[in-house]
Structure formats: C-alpha cells, structure tokens
Amino acid sequence: MPIYLHLAWSPEWAIAAAIGALLSIPLQADAKTHLMRGWHVLLNTAVGFFVAPLLDAYYHLSPPAVVAMAFLLGLFGTAITVAILRSVKTVDLLAFIRPGGSTK
C-alpha cells in the first residue's frame, strides 16, 4: 500500500503522536510561553505522524508497534530533530568532497 494511503487510513497514529507531544510539555525546558509550548506540541505531533508510517513501510512493523513508534516520536520528536540538525551543521562537507578527505 502506498505511503499516502497509510496516512489516510491510520488516525490512531496522529492520536498517539498528539498524546506523546502533550506529555512532552514538561520536558521542554526552552518553551517558556504558551505559544512556544503550542509549537512544540504541533511539531512533535507532526514528527510522530509523518515519520511513523515511514518506519512502518521500511521495517514492516505490526500496527501496535507503529502506534507505539508514533507515541515515542511524538514524545521525543523535536529533540531528535534538533540532534540531527546539529550533527548536520557540524559535518565537514569538504572532507567528503575532496579526494583523500583532507581539508587543508
């Protein structure tokens, strides 16, 4: 089944991701205002809702496992995203492009 049909037929992933996102509010130390907390909940829910079907398509998980993955991605979605973006920023692309891997 194509990935867009997975998204259309599985509203429980969105519910699980939203519950995980709501439970992550106390973990967000940088979210001081209600607006920032709302953005964290929205972004965590989006990460859980859109990444869980991709994991299901790749690993062929059972439906309860996909709901659990959506919950965990909703809980830790922005933390995972920030860690990935920080690691991408610190990668030295010239080392990959140049033959021999030297930046000098």
Domain locations in the chain as residue ranges: 10-97
Q: Pick out the chain residues at pLDDT < 50.
A: none
Give residue 102's pLDDT.
55
Residue 78 has what pLDDT? 83
Q: What is the pLDDT of residue 61?
A: 86
Closest CA to 49 of 75, 85, 23: 75
- pLDDT given for residue 100 in this prediction: 65
Residue 8 is encoded by which pair of tokens?
């259309």
pTM (two decimals) = 0.73
Backbone angles phi, psi at 60, to 5 degrees: 55, 60
**pLDDT at 20 (0 to 100):** 92
Which pLDDT score is estimated for 11?
Answer: 81
